[in-house]
């Protein structure tokens, strides 16, 4: 399907009037088909698949007339990483006055060392610290001032439940609920190790997702000089957790109920965790891919609108029904394809907008947003000169919708513009269907938001044209159960990519408007990222 932008997006009519510029579903389809092919072996970080994927992205940008914006005049930004694989010889035991219980790697626990050392030995007291959150703005402190240096911290993922929008954003998960925050906080407090007790309700996904993601090589940004990492960071099953907390005389559910109370204080579990964590380390020189199209205004072309998507997936892993290649067609060859198509159209515009455009394809999203984190710390356009980041991640192949997802846009001064562009494309703005899952903090735009850049993902809505009202729920449940982070996330010829065209069209429309907006956007008053924006020089 070919869509004439001038006809379907009135806001672009003045720019594209009389020009044969189209969002091409055929091109989007071809990009996905190649990036998700078995030849790329699942696009694992630090593999042959990475080389092929990033070379392809760079070659497409070059062919589309997009200039290199990486290191030394190339399309690539080097991202130094360490690959850490926990070896089967690793041992972890619960030690109490009654003896010891051995946990089995992969069955009872998964995880790895973040110390970036090959041998990690510890024997330390285990302390339950609730949700592991210190959030003074919400008057919440799970640590209550206790010194936890040298201890093994045990906590639940997620955060205290509430319907109050002024308390951890009510049902909407904040960053405090993410496992990444909890490990970061544990390291800041000098813990030797950290364990999350997995429950499906608190995590939002089953143990199989955890075991699949953590049961292979873990990719990490290299530690900075003087920076320390945990000797072990990982997850334990609910059954393993029950053994760990047995001496308290309480069940997991009872302890979770206590952890949800403001007056919770750390609980000594009366056991030690004795562990030998052996890790195989691998030096990785991964890379982000970056291209740029200069703006037309000499005063504003140093500023840019950023379009982002992650190119990586899970590589080759545990076979499922004989297939070991985790192709990642929707996650996230789809987002890369849309950003490439936006780059092509932007580059072909005879009259460019005032600001420049940067097209960023990041590494290691699946390992915890590492490529975008590195770019946020080493941007090619300073955060204070980046107008916005529009991110594209895991788009659906089910056709167009009557609505569109832009969760997080309402927190920025771009909100009226987003609403106007949606209205002009006759799209409703879909509410976040799962605010309790904290999707805003689980994709690469979050790394840019932390740097102060107004950032959000553009995603399909939930009202699919020609589909019954129950379609989205069924499709989502089917994808989560049978394709998400599995080898079956593969490209199919019968996909309807017209919905991806719609997403590309909206992203291009909004990006062009942002590129011509006189004033740099920022975060609304009171937002958690406003201080970072002001620090970058934008007020």
Q: Where are the domains of the chain?
A: 23-78+285-533, 84-281
- What is the mean pLDDT of the segment spanning 26-50? 97
Is the peptide bond prior to 332 cis by the omega test (within 30 degrees of 0)? Answer: yes
Question: What's the pTM value of the predicted model, to 2 decimals?
Answer: 0.89
* Band of pLDDT at residue 433, cut at 50, 70 and 90: confident
Integer Cα distance of 328 and 317 in angstroms: 12
End-to-end Cα, the chain, rounded Å: 43
Which tens digit of pLDDT belongs to each residue from 187-245? 999 999 999 999 998 888 889 889 988 888 899 999 988 888 999 999 999 999 999 99
Determine how many CB atoms are found less than 10 A away from the CB of residue 265. 15
Which tens digit of pLDDT belongs to each residue from 316-369? 988 999 999 999 999 999 999 999 999 999 999 999 999 999 999 999 999 989
Least confident of 12-21, 147-156, 348-357: 12-21
* Band of pLDDT at residue 467, cut at 50, 70 and 90: very high
What's residue 436's pLDDT? 74
* Band of pLDDT at residue 10, cut at 50, 70 and 90: very low
What's residue 20's pLDDT? 58
What's residue 169's pLDDT? 79
- What is the mean pLDDT of the segment spanning 18-39? 90
Q: What percent of the chain is predicted at pLDDT more than 90?
A: 84
* Band of pLDDT at residue 4, cut at 50, 70 and 90: very low
Which tens digit of pLDDT belongs to each residue from 262-303? 999 999 999 999 999 999 999 999 999 999 999 999 999 999
What's residue 17's pLDDT? 39
- What is the mean pLDDT of the segment spanning 366-378? 96
Integer Cα distance of 35 and 39 in angstroms: 9
**pLDDT score of 3 more than 50:** no
Which tens digit of pLDDT belongs to each residue from 104-141? 999 999 999 999 999 999 999 999 999 999 999 999 99
**pLDDT score of 7 more than 60:** no
What DSSP character marks residue 401? B
Mean pLDDT of the chain: 93
β-bridge pairing 109-112 and 119-128: unpaired
**pLDDT score of 11 more than 90:** no
Determine how many CB atoms are found less than 10 A away from the CB of residue 332. 32
Domain 23-78+285-533 CATH class label: alpha beta
**Strand-pair partners of 10:** none
What's residue 437's pLDDT? 77
Which tops the pLDDT comparison, 383 or 2? 383
What's residue 438's pLDDT? 80
**pLDDT score of 258 more than 90:** yes
- Does CATH number 3.40.50.720 belong to domain 84-281? no
* Band of pLDDT at residue 165, cut at 50, 70 and 90: confident
**pLDDT score of 69 more than 70:** yes
What's residue 481's pLDDT? 85
3-state class (DSSP) for residue 75 = coil
3-state class (DSSP) for residue 504 = helix
Q: What percent of the chain is predicted at pLDDT more than 70?
A: 96
Question: Which residue shows structure tokens 């024997």?
Answer: 123
- What is the mean pLDDT of the segment spanning 381-386? 98
What's residue 171's pLDDT? 77
3-state class (DSSP) for residue 180 = helix
Least confident of 7-16, 85-94, 131-140: 7-16
What DSSP character marks residue 331? I
DSSP of 345-383, one letter per residue? Answer: HHHH-SS--SSEEEEEEES-STTTSHHHHHHHHS-SS-G
What backbone torsions phi and psi does residue 123 show, to the nearest 5 degrees? Answer: -145, 100
Contacts 24+ apart (CB under 8 A), 157-163: 157/131, 157/182, 157/196, 157/198, 157/202, 157/203, 158/131, 158/202, 158/203, 158/204, 158/436, 159/131, 159/133, 160/131, 160/133, 160/259, 160/260, 160/261, 160/262, 161/260
Closest CA to 508 of 294, 310, 343: 343
Which tens digit of pLDDT belongs to each residue from 511-525? 999 999 999 999 999
């Amino acid at each position: 399907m070919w869509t004439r932008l001038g006809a379907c997006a009135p806001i672009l009519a003045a720019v594209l009037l009389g020009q044969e510029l189209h969002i091409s579903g055929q091109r989007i389809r071809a990009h996905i088909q190649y990036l998700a092919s078995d030849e790329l072996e699942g696009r694992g970080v630090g593999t042959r698949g990475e080389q092929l994927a990033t070379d392809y992205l760079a070659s497409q940008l070059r062919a589309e007339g997009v200039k290199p914006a990486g290191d030394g005049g190339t399309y690539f930004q080097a991202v130094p990483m360490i690959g850490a694989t926990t070896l089967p010889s690793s041992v972890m035991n619960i030690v109490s006055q009654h003896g010891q219980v051995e946990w089995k790697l992969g069955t009872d626990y998964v995880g790895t060392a973040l110390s970036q050392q090959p041998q990690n030995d510890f024997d330390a007291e285990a302390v339950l610290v609730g949700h592991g959150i210190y959030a003074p703005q919400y008057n919440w402190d799970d640590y209550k001032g206790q010194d936890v240096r040298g201890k093994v911290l045990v906590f639940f993922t997620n955060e205290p439940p509430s319907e109050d929008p002024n308390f951890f954003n009510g049902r909407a998960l904040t960053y405090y609920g993410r496992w990444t925050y909890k490990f970061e906080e544990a390291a800041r407090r000098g813990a030797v190790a950290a364990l999350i007790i997995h429950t499906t309700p608190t995590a939002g996904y089953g143990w199989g997702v955890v075991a699949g993601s953590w049961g292979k090589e873990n990719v990490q940004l290299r530690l900075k000089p003087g920076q320390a990492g945990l000797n072990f960071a990982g997850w334990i099953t609910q059954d393993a957790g029950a053994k760990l907390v047995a001496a308290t005389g309480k069940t997991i559910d009872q302890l979770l109920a206590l952890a949800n109370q403001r007056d919770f204080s750390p609980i000594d579990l009366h056991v030690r965790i004795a562990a030998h964590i052996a890790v195989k380390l691998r030096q990785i020189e991964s890379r982000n891919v970056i291209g740029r199209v200069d703006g037309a205004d000499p005063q504003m072309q140093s500023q840019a609108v950023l379009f982002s998507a992650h190119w990586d997936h899970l590589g080759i892993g545990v076979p499922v029904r004989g297939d070991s290649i985790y192709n990642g067609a929707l996650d996230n060859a789809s987002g890369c394809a849309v950003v490439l198509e936006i780059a092509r159209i932007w580059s072909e515009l005879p009259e460019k907008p005032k600001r420049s455009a940067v097209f960023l394809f990041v590494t290691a999203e699946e390992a915890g947003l590492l490529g975008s984190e590195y770019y946020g710390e080493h941007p090619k356009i300073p955060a204070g000169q980046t107008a916005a980041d529009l991110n594209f991640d895991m788009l659906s192949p089910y056709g167009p919708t009557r609505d569109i997802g832009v969760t997080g846009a309402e927190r920025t001064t771009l909100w009226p513009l987003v609403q106007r562009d949606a209205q002009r494309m006759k799209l409703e703005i879909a509410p976040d269907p799962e605010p309790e899952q904290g999707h805003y903090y689980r994709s690469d735009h979050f790394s840019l938001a932390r740097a102060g850049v107004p950032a959000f993902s553009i995603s399909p809505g939930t009202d699919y044209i020609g589909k019954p009202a129950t379609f989205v729920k069924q499709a989502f449940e089917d994808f989560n159960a049978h394709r998400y982070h599995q080898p079956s996330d593969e490209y199919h010829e019968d996909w309807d990519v017209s919905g991806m065209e719609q997403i590309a069209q909206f992203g291009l429309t909004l990006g062009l408007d942002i590129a011509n907006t006189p004033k740099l956007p920022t975060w609304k008053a009171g937002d958690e990222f406003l201080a970072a924006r002001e620090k970058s020089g934008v007020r």
